[in-house]
Chains A and B, each alone.
Chain A
Amino acid sequence: MSTNKDWPLWEVFIASKRGLSHKHVGSLHAADSEMALENARDVYTRRKEGESIWVVESKYIFATNPEDKDSFFEPAKTKVYRHPTFYELPDDVNKM
């Protein structure tokens, strides 16, 4: 549908603090990766939202399809033994 005269689209990920993981915050257009970083800084960190930025061209993001939701994620639902609350501890153990 799109006849694109725009610069490529980039997805922006920002870590709000050192040590935290990068979170998707939005997208923008830029001609190259350096410009994408600069633009991300100006567009998405005007209010001190971050200390580290990742950018990746949107076309390199691959995503699951909503139709695959069941086959991808249903199996995890039944594996409750992966969560600590599945296990009952004897009363004399306070913390684990």
Chain B
Amino acid sequence: MLFKYLLQLADNQLILSQRLSELCGHGPALEQDIAITNISLDLIGQARLLFQYATKHDDQKRNEDQLALVRPENEYRNVLLVEQPNVDFAHVIVRQYFYDEFNFLNYSALVNSKDEELAAIATKSLMEVKYHLRFSRNWMLRLGDGTAISNQKMQDAIDDLWAYPGELFEMTADEQVLAKAGVAVDVSTLQENWKEAVLATLQEATLAIPEGTWHQTGGKKGIHSEYMGHILAEMQFLQRAYPNQTW
């Protein structure tokens, strides 16, 4: 049960870092290219800590890379938000900001986990995530309150992505059990804080709050968007084409 929870945490970091790594070499300015890569590197680091811990709880005794890079698609437990594509820099920033607000709240709670190793991972990751949040929030403001063009692009990105954060606060059956035991975070309790922070940012960034309340769901149950297959096709290519080798 803990194993599945660890994978779920790790998969979010992994898939988002994969998306960000696609931008390496293609950023809007050299300085921002470096910044985005830094976030991608932090997230890979966080994913690795979680996968490494998960290997200790895996009945099949798989190593870190077999867990990260060889599972079938429906065993990945990341939310749909992180697999959304890099349509433009506005989508990159909005996706990042939505996730960072969640990641920050989630790790802030996870540092109190009764599982010591998990709490230690959360403590280390939280410092990084605080910076990510500062970075993405500043960019929400710059682009929202920048030019008419940037404001429109940000609004489009928000409208496109608004249906995805809801899934972050869904509790799976496993999570409910683990949360009762004080190991996992009850993410459903984070939603109000998340919403409050996000609405304040949107307002400051002169962006409109979308009206829809509907949210997409599936990722946490292993039912992903069409994008996921392509992400995995790339990410898993070498491990699949040349199984069981050392790299």
Contact = CB atoms under 8 A, between A and B. Distances in A.
Interface string A56-93: 00000000000000000000000000000000000000
A15 B211 CA distance: 48
Interface string B31-54: 100110010000000000000000
Interface residues of A, number: 13
Interface in B45-101: none
B142 interface: yes
B135 interface: yes
Contacts of B29: 7, 29
Dominant SS at the B interface? helix
A46 interface: yes
Interface string A8-28: 000000000000000000001
A54 to B, nearest CB: 17
A27 B166 CA distance: 42
How many B residues touch the partner, as a band? Answer: 10 to 19
A42 B34 contact: yes
B138 interface: yes
A30 B31 contact: yes
Nearest to A38: B135
B35 A38 contact: yes
Nearest to A28: B31
Nearest to A34: B138
A41 to B, nearest CB: 8
Interface in B14-35: 29-31, 34-35
* B29, B30, B134, B142 — most chain A CB neighbours (10 Å): B29
Contacts of B134: 38
Interface of A: 7, 28-32, 34-35, 38-39, 42-43, 46
13 contacts: A28-B31, A30-B31, A31-B142, A32-B142, A34-B138, A35-B138, A35-B142, A38-B135, A39-B34, A42-B34, A42-B38, A43-B34, A46-B38
Ordered nearest first, which 6 A-B pairs have the shortest CB separation?
Answer: A39-B31, A42-B35, A42-B34, A42-B38, A43-B34, A28-B31
